[in-house]
Structure formats: structure tokens, C-alpha cells
Chain A
Amino acid sequence: MSSAQIADTQLESYRGTDKPFWGILAEFPNPGKLFSACENIRDLGYRKWDAHSPFPVHGLERAMGLRDSLLPWVVLVMGLTGASLAMLLQWWISAVAYKLVIAGKPFFSWPAFIPVTFEIGVLFSALGAVIGMFAFNGLPRLNHPLFNSERFLRSTDDGFFISIEAADPNFDPETIESFLVGLGATSVEVVCDDS
């Protein structure tokens, strides 16, 4: 296949330079091909690799063998923290720091404090979801070796990619292109870390 030869020559020309070799990027024609390629790569035990698509492809996390996100636990802890802090603050203000008799109610009239407790719980949960998601994803990260690839620009439009890092223990530069082409890749290219 011609694309494999192109990739070979790319790899050869790369070997002549001293640019750090980051990994390899393969493009797939559609979500179906991407899906089955991911299943194969997963089954071969690769670790440092990723798939890239303009939208979340349904079920791809299982095809890649990814574990479930731990984000809900972060959100649960954050939400409970927020709600507890809100109740604590209202108790301290109303029953300790600034006691006011309002409508003859007890100072710690907790049912009246539920709305604010709920709202702050929601605020902390949302912050936990957003900040936690960024933290798990290692974002923001404005530079990345993959952004060196011209073709990779299409990953946010209509391109479907798999990237495998050279640091992966299974990575074999001699066979990787033919392997990916065999899985249905329409192009395979070398990605350098020279940003």
C-alpha cells in the first residue's frame, strides 16, 4: 500500500535528523474503522496511545479498554463539602456571631437554611465537575506534539485518528506502520516533539 511506503520514507528521513521522536499518527476513514482498530490495539496491550475524533464516538472507551471516569466521586465529595460549609456558615452567623430573633424562630432554624445549603452544594458540585475534568485530562495544555501535524487539524472537523507514543513498551518502529495500515489506516505519519 502506497501510504505505508510514504510512512516508511518519512520514518527514514526522520532517522537522519536528531529531532526527538514522539510517536506515530494514523488516520482512519470513519468511526467504524477507528472503533475496530482501537479494539485491536487494546487487545495487543498497548498503553501509551490515544484515539482522536471530532465528537465522542459511542462506546469507544470500551473499545480502548479505558476504565470508568472517577469524576463522579470528585463531584460527590465536592458537593457534600459545599453543602456542609454552607450549613456551617449559616449556623455560625445565625446562632453564634450575629444572633437575631426573626419571627420568634430558634437561632439555628435549619429548615430556613436549606435553600442556600442546596445552592452552594450545587455550585461546588459544578466546580468539581469542571475543574476535576480539566485535572483528569491534563488541560489546559496549549502545546502538544500532535499539533505539529498538518493533517491532525482535521481531528476537530471530520478526521478520525489514532496516535501511539514511541514511549510505549510495545512500540516497534519497524512494524507499526504496516500494522496500522492493516487495521484500515488511510495514512500513517511520524510525529516529532520539536515544539
Chain B
Amino acid sequence: MSDIVVDDLRKNLDEGAHERASLIVGEHATFHGITEAVCRPVEWKAPRAWYIFFGLSVALAGVFVLSTGYLFYKGTGIWGLNNPVGWGWAIVNFVFWVGIGHAGTLISAVLFLFRQKWRTSINRFAEAMTIFAVVCALMFPTIHVGRVWLLYWFFPIPNQMSMWPNFRSPLLWDVFAVSVYASVSVMFWYVGLIPDIATIRDRAKTKGRKIAYGIFSLGWRGSARHWLHYEKAYMILAAVATPLVLSVHSIVSFDFAVSQLPGWHTTIFPPYFVAGAIFSGFAMVITLMVIARKLFNMEHIMTLRHLENMSKVILVTGSIVGYAYAMEFFIAWYSGNPYEQFAFINRAFGPYAWAYWIMVSCNVIVPQIFWFKFCRRNIAVLFIASIFVNIGMWFERFVITVTSLHRDFLPSSWDYYSPTFFDIAALLGSFGIFFTLFSLFVRFLPQVSMAEVKTVLPEADPHHGHDAIAQDEAKHLHEATA
């Protein structure tokens, strides 16, 4: 392994246009080598660490189920919500998880449209993260209504009361945005998976695997006539997912921005939320990938170059987020609105100043280390910084939600909000659900898109090794036309 890293490092250092570190390194850089490496975790017995991790995740998911069961029995009073703070951790967690999901779509769709080939090794992984994060995100608005049996009120379904939803409410836009986002993400992911599931089907030894992977591969046979429509469908999905992901987090920010509350009612929210979402999502991809590439020996496919590129994205989006924090204060001062000014002074120096400064340290200061190449290429530094960003971005949503609410227009109703045991159980439990789904994914589905990674090998180009011939032909053509 170490010589591969050294090789990779050396190539990245003499950064000529053609001599960049390859996207696949080491002896596995053949079509069959990629198949073997990616199929191994699916076909071989899982390492002991996987069982331990899976067991812990399921136990944590159980915490979510139990605490939510009690919530349904008792009501939202078991949470720390109080009179001015009617939106607590449930909303914080919702925005946190949706934001995490967005990096997956960014990697799979936006980088695809920009022809960023380095995404091929990590897009499957990131898309899986998107789906599982959106699953967790959808839990919170679902349970925070308290009376979950009335959930159908969200949707325009004819009902016995002849009532219809109010389509002028951003909360309703949110229902549509997040459900559509979940559906499109699943479709995008599944379409990408079909050729790879077919690969596992064709390698399957047991009847059970042949049937299971056979059904989910839908009879895929790598036909060029199919690839033609397939690639078009994939491109279209990327093209619709790109504006979708921007719209989803913009609409999530409308939940706040469309209200009249100082601290929420700002026009900077949509771009600021989108940048924050990408920021937190990339951090989560790094956290997960550092573990998975080690656990499943995929360091040659998810290379240091991938991690380095992602740390650059974190640096950029972290700086955008820092700019937004500063701009909020500037606008509060420049607006001349005393309520707006109070909201921001209270945010930075009031009872929740501790949360505000945790947020600033984790989101603005920590990512600045990625100006240095050493930090971008050091696995331990990357891992720790990504954890800090995850924490910081959770606190950002906490700061926005709680500091704006806890001191409202009437000082007599001011209060301090703190979570209860059940708030904490729901947040930790949602991590359990996320990691349970993720463990199942890395065990039963290919974590890397084999079909796509094969296309970035030089020999995948049908004209590979024919440069001399092509030049010759071009010369003849030139002579013929001259």
C-alpha cells in the first residue's frame, strides 16, 4: 500500500497536464482487477469489524425506535420545547440530515455534468449516503408533528373533511421538495446500480444470489443498444437532479426565510443554505470514506487524490459559509433595524454564544487548514477535520433555529431552551438508522461504480494506442483537402 501512496504522491507533485495522479492506482488497474476489488466485499465473508459496527448501529437504531414509540404514546411534550422555542432539535436534525444528503447529489450529478472524471470512484458511495441521509431527514418532520396518524394532511388527498393543503406555505413546498428529492435520488442511484448488479449476478455461485441479483439487474446484458438509452437517461437524470438539489435546500431555507422572524427573514438564506449543505455533505463523505476504504482495502480506487479534491471543496464551501455569517451581521447593521441587530448581537454574545462560537470555530476556522497540502493529504487530519465540520454544521442549524426563537419580540416570553433525554435519543438514534443502512449497503451492493470506473482506464478508449494511426489519418485527410 505505502508504495502506491508514494507513487501517487510523486505523480501529483510533478503536476503536468498528463501526469496527474491516476484515478486508479496499483496492480488492479485492469477491467478484471476492478471487478475483483469491488466485488470482494459483496462476495466474501465480512470482516469482524463489520459485524461489530453493524451490531452497534442496529442497537442505536433501536434507541430511535423506542424513543419515537414513546413520543407517539406521550406527545412532543417529552422534548425540551417551550413557549418561544416551538421548533427544536427535530427541525435542527432534519435540516442537518438533508444537508448531508446534498453532497451525494452534487458528486453524482453536478460533477458528472462538468465531466469531472474523478467522481467515478466515489459517486456510488456518495449517492448511497444521500439516500440514507434523506431517510433520516424524513423521519424528523414525520415524528415532529406529534400526531403521526394525521400525516396524510400533508398531501393533497381527497378526504372526509373536504380539506385541502395550503400551497402558499413553504412548509408544504418542503414536503414536495424533500419527497421528490428522495424519489429522484433513489431512481438515479438504482439506474447507476443496474450494470453493477448484473456483474454480481454473472459472478454469483449460489442459487439464492443468482435469483436475488438476477431480479434486481432486470436482465441487463451490456448491450450497446441499451447503453445508448442508458447513458442518455443517466445524463438527463443528472441534468434534472442538479437544479433539484439547489431547489431542495433553497426551499428548506424558505421554511425560515419566508417567516417574519429576525434572524430568519433574510434573502441570503437560499445560497447560504446550499453552500452549507454541500460543505457538510462533503465532510460526511470523507468521514465515511476514510473508514470504508481502509476496511475493504479500496485505497487504490478511492485514492488520496479523491480525498484531496474533496478537501478543496470543503475549503471553498466553508469559506462561503464564513462569508455568509459575516454578511448576516453586516446586513443586520446596515438595515438599521433594531430587532434584526438585536437578534445577531444576541446570537454571538447572548446565552447561546457558546453554540455560536462552536459553529464558527468548526465551520470557518478548521477548514482553513486545507490551504496546506500536507493537511489535504493526511488521512488523520482529514478525518478529524471532517468530524469537526459535521459537528459545526449541526450547530449552525441549532444556532439558526434556537437563537432566533428563544428571545422573541416580547421580553416577558423569553426563555432558555435545552434538550431532554428524548431529544438526544432521537438524534443519536438517527445516526443508528443511517449507519445500519450504510453497513447493509457496503455489504450487499458494490460501493464503487464498476462500469464507470472502467471507462476511466486508458484502455477503455477504443482508440487507445492508436494515436500514431489517428495522426497519420489526419495528415492524409489534410493532404486530401488541401
Which A residues fall within an 8 A CB radius of B? Answer: 30-32, 34-35, 38, 50-61, 63-64, 66, 69, 71-72, 75, 79, 89-90, 93-94, 97-98, 100, 102-103, 105, 109, 112-113, 115-116, 118-120, 122-123, 125-127, 129-130, 132-134, 136-137, 139-144, 146-147, 152-158, 161
Which B residues fall within an 8 A CB radius of A? Answer: 30-32, 35, 156, 162-168, 170, 172-173, 176-177, 180, 183-184, 187-188, 191, 195, 198-199, 201-203, 214-215, 218-233, 236-237, 240-241, 243-244, 247, 251, 254, 450-452, 454-455, 459-466
A69 engages B232 (CB within 8 Å): yes
Given contacts A97-B164, A116-B173, 17 further A-B contacts (CB under 8 A): A50-B223, A51-B224, A52-B224, A54-B35, A57-B460, A58-B462, A71-B232, A75-B240, A109-B168, A118-B247, A122-B243, A123-B180, A123-B183, A126-B240, A129-B240, A139-B218, A140-B218
Q: Which residues of chain B have C-beta atoms less than 8 A from A120's C-beta?
A: 176, 180
Q: How far is A93 from B165 in the complex, measured between Cα atoms in Å?
A: 8
Q: List 28 A-B contacts (CB under 8 A).
A: A35-B463, A51-B224, A52-B221, A54-B451, A56-B451, A56-B455, A57-B460, A59-B462, A60-B462, A61-B227, A69-B232, A72-B236, A97-B162, A100-B166, A105-B168, A109-B168, A116-B167, A123-B183, A139-B218, A140-B218, A140-B219, A144-B219, A152-B221, A155-B221, A156-B198, A156-B222, A157-B31, A157-B199
State whether A139 and B240 are in contact (beta carbons under 8 Å apart), knowing that A115-B176, A123-B184 are contacts in the complex. Answer: no
Q: Give min CB distance, B162 to chain A, whole Å.
A: 7
Q: How far is A43 from B191 in the complex, measured between Cα atoms in Å?
A: 32
Q: How far is A69 from B198 in the complex, measured between Cα atoms in Å?
A: 23
A122 engages B232 (CB within 8 Å): no
Candidates B215, B232, B240; contact of A133 at CB < 8 Å = B232
Candidates A130, A137, A147; contact of B225 at CB < 8 Å = A137
State whether A93 and B228 are in contact (beta carbons under 8 Å apart), knowing that A50-B223, A122-B240, A123-B183 are contacts in the complex. Answer: no
Q: Give min CB distance, B110 to chain A, whole Å.
A: 15
State whether A157 and B32 are in contact (beta carbons under 8 Å apart), knowing that A133-B191, A133-B229, A143-B219 are contacts in the complex. Answer: yes
- Of all chain B residues, the one with the shortest Cβ separation from A75 is B236
Q: Which residues of chain B have C-beta atoms less than 8 A from A125's C-beta?
A: 236, 240
Q: Which residues of chain B have C-beta atoms less than 8 A from A116's C-beta?
A: 167, 172-173, 176
Q: How far is A103 from B166 in the complex, measured between Cα atoms in Å?
A: 12
- Of all chain B residues, the one with the shortest Cβ separation from A130 is B187
